[in-house]
Copies of this chain bind each other. A is one copy, B any other.
Amino acid sequence: MPDFPAPADPRFGLARRVTLPGPLTLDSGARLSPVDIAYETYGTLAADAGNALLICHALTMDQHVAGPNPRTGKQGWWTRMVGPGRPIDTDRFFVVCANVLGSCMGSSGPASIDPATGCPYGMDFPVITIRDMVRAQAMLLDHLGIGTLAGVVGGSMGGMQALSWAATYPDRVRAAVVIASTARHTAQNIAFHEVGRQAVMADPKWRDGAYYDGDPPAAGLAVARMAAHITYLSEAGLTEKFGRRLQAREQKSFGFDADFQIESYLRYQGLSFTDRFDANSYLYITRAMDYFDLAEEHGGLLANAFRGTATRFCLVSFDTDWLYPTAESRSIVQALNAAGARVSFVELTSPYGHDAFLLDAPELERVVGGFMAADR
């Protein structure tokens, strides 16, 4: 794991957290105050603050993109991509990654204390949007003294934030990298998320979100995670990895144990998720993703979101990603072309489906590294 020495400025470094007074006015009209943001920075901010790059994370990820994760003891979730000498080179860029609004890794979310009551918000936390997440990140950048970003980079929900950044703050983004993502959630995307939310809410331990005295709705959240996890993998990848192989047995049990490896794997994914994620945060963030429709925010025409932009765009999709398939990236590229934006687009081949962007993907690293190296 690379060593990131503590910078002199106490705002910079690993495992930072700031409480900003706000208020942050949300798309719903609600005003959030204060606004906690947990984040990490890597590298050194240039004197002109011109080398800052923001990484936006996916649904269940966190701010520990390249440093050690203090909760799990594991290394960051994108050390392949971010670090000294990596495609997003922390010797060159000052990289910032913040836990999104609504999450549960230190930023304000439903598990945070509501100053009005002194108790956790629960379902009184306001419903947020992808653009609200971006607004909170902009507040953080103001706090850090960063005006314009050399780049904003994200995969999946991180890509939605990157698009929203370019549309909301066009003068603050020189380059946007959007990986395995979409400009709007489809009916099928919403459907899978709704199954997950209903699984959480069907768990009697959910108790309308007021479970923070202990005994959270782990069973419901595990089912939600299992359903979502299927969408992150390709059918071919599942067949290659698991097929119909049995789990630690010679023949079928003629029972309801996890006979098949895929069953055992899914159960593990579901259970382990509940150790690290808050069920209410899962509800809020999936809702934000379902609400995301960048065209709708711009009069129904996606090109309007990028009219006159000077931002350079890089779009990447994976051929086996059926959650946000290549057609979604292509429609973004068409809108960017219609808006006269500079855009490069590549569909990469991978057996791993949507999760490919988090896995061993040398081609992705070359594409992102090359694109960011071209920053003036």
Q: How far is the CA of A202 from the CA of B191 in the complex (A)?
A: 20
A-B contact pairs, 6 of them (CB 8 A): A123-B256, A186-B239, A187-B238, A187-B242, A191-B226, A191-B263
Query: Distance (Å) between the CB of A189 and the closest chain B CB?
Result: 9
Contact A199 B223 (CB under 8 A): yes
Is the Cβ of A252 less than 8 Å from the Cβ of B194?
Answer: no
Contacts known (A127-B255, A184-B244); A262 close to B190, Cβ less than 8 A: yes
Which of B27, B201, B290 sits near A260, CB closer than 8 Å? B290
Interface of A is mostly: helix
Judged by a CB distance under 8 angstroms, whether A20 is at the interface is no
Q: Judge whether A117 is part of the interface by a CB distance below 8 angstroms.
A: no
In chain A, residues 171-206, which have Cβ atoms closer than 8 Å to a Cβ of chain B? 184-188, 190-192, 194-195, 197-199, 201-204
Cβ B188 vs Cβ A256 within 8 A = no
Q: Is A138 an interface residue (CB 8 A)?
A: no
- Say yes or no: is A207 at the interface (Cβ < 8 Å to chain B): no
Residues of chain A from 250 to 300 with CB closer than 8 A to chain B in the complex: 252, 254-256, 258, 260, 262-263, 266-267, 270, 283, 287, 290-291, 293, 296
Contact of A235 among B127, B188, B233 (CB under 8 A): B188
Q: A187-B260, A188-B235, A241-B187 are in contact. Are A266 and B195 (CB under 8 A)?
A: yes
B244 adjacent to A293 (CB under 8 Å): yes
- Let me know if A230 and B191 touch, CB within 8 A: yes
Given contacts A127-B254, A191-B262, 18 further A-B contacts (CB under 8 A): A127-B256, A186-B243, A187-B260, A188-B235, A190-B263, A191-B238, A191-B266, A194-B258, A195-B223, A195-B266, A197-B256, A198-B266, A198-B270, A199-B223, A202-B223, A204-B204, A244-B296, A256-B287
Residues of B within 8 A of A29 (CB): 254
Q: Report how far A239 CA is from B263 CA in the complex, Å.
A: 30
Cβ proximity bits A202-218 to B, threshold 8 Å, 1 near / 0 not: 11100000000000000
